[in-house]
Amino acid sequence: MNWENYVQKVVPYVAGEQPKDQNVIKLNTNENPYSPAQGVAEVIRNFDCEILRKYPDPNVSALVDILAQYHGLDNNQVFVGVGSDDVLAMSFLTFFHSEKPILFPDITYSFYDVWADLYRIPYECQTLDENFCIKIEDYKKENGGIVLANPNAPTGVMAEVSVLEEIIAANRDSVVIIDEAYVDFGGASCVSLIEKYDNLLVVQTFSKSRSLAGMRIGYAMGSSKLIQYLNDVKFSFNSYTMNTLTIVAGVASMMDEAYFRENIAKVVATRERTKLELAKLGFTFGDSKTNFIFATHKTVPAQEIFEALRKNKIYVRYWNKPRIANYLRISIGTDEEMDKMLTFLATFLKQK
């Protein structure tokens, strides 16, 4: 016998590549092409490093308070973690502690089944319809919890809040998590439903719309009861997950609403323009409300386009998986980056 018998063996999630080559046009991990708010740079530059000798505030109060205020919630309705992945993983561990399967779509954020496997949570994937939309009735069966990304990833498709409310209302006996990582780019948030449904947890992130993927800040909002349970598990895992610099940087980002709006408006404008150009080139795609476009070409296989782009140092995301193997997920970069990609695609597709 050997110690390896006692090891938890898992198949890890594979994140989009982070190339060291600075010349790569990186449209593969849904990063924001613009800098974080100027105030973030200022608080970091002026940070007094002496205080790093002390542990951070375990309650992350400064950031919790400003988020609560921003979203019109009490500060006992907000939980902050190391990116929304940390928040979601901890939420799975906390709320999906049932023998019944949790439900999520067959095509969605590919971390959901990884977390379920890690924590041995039974799950059942529900098939999206041919337009990648959820079917409400799929989420009206017995379950141990529900998680829905809205807008969904990697499809970019959004469900109306009324559709989600119907699902939340039909499942008062389990927790429904709405993962709104991309909601700021034009989606409608379920935050407004929190007061009405104590089984609703809404998760958002600073990684996309706030240009802070490198800082790792995500958060959950819900009834004070849900947040209390989440805090109990967090404090059973690691009292101090958010470091002191991250807390001040997050607060600084929240202080600059004008920049936040401007940044989003730029990404959205580029996205809409890119949609028109991609359509001209023979691509089809849903009406993405995110910072990426999930596109398929009418004649040329996605994998072929993916490899050609990659060879030319333009990275997009491709999954060789059922139902989506003919799609590319293209993050929205700067106008200049998108133009380079579109120019390359025009030339490449003409040769086909």
Q: Interface residues for a second copy in 236-275 (CB under 8 A)?
A: 236-246, 249
Q: Which stretch binds a second copy (CB under 8 A): 10-18, 66-74, 281-289, 340-348?
A: 10-18
Q: Which stretch binds a second copy (CB under 8 A): 24-32, 182-190, 269-277, 280-288?
A: 24-32
Interacting residues of 212 by C-beta distance below 8 A, sequence separation 6+? 36, 40, 206, 249, 250, 253
Q: How many residues bind a second copy (CB under 8 A)?
A: 89
- At 296 the three-state DSSP class reads strand
CB of 125 to a second copy, least distance (A): 18
284 DSSP β-pair partners: 296
Interacting residues of 213 by C-beta distance below 8 A, sequence separation 6+? 29, 31, 32, 207
Q: Which segments of the chain does DSSP mark as H helices, in order?
A: 38-45, 61-71, 83-95, 112-118, 161-169, 224-234, 244-255, 257-280, 302-311, 335-350
Q: How many residues does the chain have?
A: 352
The reply to whether 15 sits near a second copy by the rule CB under 8 A is yes
Question: How many whole angstroms separate alpha carbon 170 and alpha carbon 163?
Answer: 11
Interacting residues of 122 by C-beta distance below 8 A, sequence separation 6+? 99, 100, 101, 102, 116, 144
Write out the binding residues for a second copy, residues 60-99 only, by CB under 8 A.
82-83, 85-86, 89, 93-98
Q: Which of 191, 215, 302, 316 binds a second copy (CB under 8 A)?
A: 215
Question: How many whole angstroms separate alpha carbon 81 and alpha carbon 79?
Answer: 7
The reply to whether 196 sits near a second copy by the rule CB under 8 A is no
The reply to whether 23 sits near a second copy by the rule CB under 8 A is no
The reply to whether 29 sits near a second copy by the rule CB under 8 A is yes
State how beta strands 283-285 and 292-297 pair. antiparallel
Q: Which is nearer to a second copy, 109 or 283 (CB)?
A: 109
Q: Pattern 97-136, binding to a second copy, x per CB under 8 A?
A: xx-x-------------xx-xx------------------
Q: Pattern 148-187, binding to a second copy, x per CB under 8 A?
A: ------------------------xxxx------------
The reply to whether 205 sits near a second copy by the rule CB under 8 A is no
